[in-house]
Amino acid sequence: MPTENEIIASLRRRLPELLPTLQVEVEQPARDARWDLVLKVRSAGQTKRVVCEIKSVGEPRYLSQAIASLTKATQKEPRIYPLIVAPYISTEGQRVCREAGVGYLDLTGNAFLRFDGVLVDRASPKPPPREKARLRRLFAPKSSRIIRVFLEQPKLDWTLARLAEEAMVSLRTAHLVVNALQERGYIDKRRGAITLQKPGELIDLWAQDYRFEKNRQHTYYTFVRSTNELAAKLSDHATKHKEAVGLTLHSGAAFVAPFVRSADVHAYFVGDRERLVDALDLRPGESGGTVHLVEPYDEGVFYRIQTIRGVRIVCNTQLYLDLVNYPARGREQAEALRRQKLRY
């Protein structure tokens, strides 16, 4: 993690690259100044003093104090403009800054400044490798079980022990995930209660990282013409043999929030696949088959399985994630599901 002086040194070198449309001079603040750095920005014959707070981490939890002090300062001195500078400011951190009326600038190229007719609004094409690694850890199989619990029951208060038990993970995993979510501003912890904030933004972040292709599929032909009949047979067989099954993608959405019609049946399944294939008279066929038995990347996909008309379907959170990036009209169906069932 770079120090404040290292961030300032890098900013000085790279200002022409980071703010190419503005004339910017660095003004060293006095020793007793409240600011880490002051920029003199010239545009259209006018000069604006931009006061900067330097942060080594650009997550909402670490930005809140800087935003509060900058906002207070601009109320006293309306002719200055507040700016937060960090090595990288996350999407959540950017949103918090914008909502507070505070500008931001990071060393990856993300920038937002708006004052006196000046508007700079730039987004870096991709997050740095370290941020990608942090997202992968946050949405790793065991970690994502915690997030699935929050999103499925977004209005509940949790303790760490109850959360770990509900998600079937260790206390340590629950602790790490909750801390990571709190840093990003998704968790509020007061008097021992852990509460989800902004569920819609959290599921959007997960959807950016999620790919249904992480699962392994086995495709078959079937002689059953009705997808509903086949879905019922799948559920009946799994129930009889105490195996895990859950419809997903369009075949699952057809029972929960129908919008897009599809002849394919996709079902997560953990159990004796050969026995199931024999019982339902399925025939292997990688090309053109309409029945897809899916080996899940993690058995957390079976959390809060719902049963509708005798058919077992994954929870709405899992259904949305599977659909939203699915190429065959998945986003349309995902948005219908979100409007009707998730409502965040």
Contacts of 72 (CB under 8 A, 6+ apart): none
The domain defined by 4-122 folds into Trna Endonuclease; Chain: A, domain 1 (3.40.1350)
Contacts of 77 (CB under 8 A, 6+ apart): none
Per-residue CA distances from 317 to 23, 35, 54, 58, 66 (Å):
48, 44, 37, 28, 34
Per-residue pLDDT of the chain (344 residues; tens, 9 = 90+): 788 889 999 999 999 999 998 999 998 766 777 789 999 998 877 899 999 999 998 888 889 889 998 988 888 888 899 999 999 998 889 999 999 999 999 999 999 999 998 999 999 877 777 777 888 899 999 999 999 999 999 999 999 999 999 999 999 999 999 999 998 889 998 877 999 999 999 999 999 889 999 999 999 999 998 999 999 999 999 999 999 999 999 999 999 999 999 999 999 999 999 999 999 999 998 677 999 999 999 999 999 999 999 999 999 999 999 999 999 999 999 999 999 999 99
- Show the beta-strand stretches assigned E in 70-160: 80-86, 103-106, 111-115, 118-122, 157-158
CATH 3.30.460.40 fits 215-342, yes or no: yes
| CB-CB neighbours of 283 under 10 Å | 11
CATH 1.10.10.10 fits 129-209, yes or no: yes
The phi and psi torsions of 114 (rounded to 5 degrees) equal: -145, 110
- DSSP per-residue codes, 21-50: TSEEEEEPPPTT-S-SEEEEEEETTEEEEE
Domain residues of the chain, as ranges? 4-122, 129-209, 215-342
- Record the tokens describing residue 140, joined without a space: 């790793």
Two domains, one topology: 129-209 and 215-342: no
- Let me know how long the chain is: 344
pTM of the model: 0.79
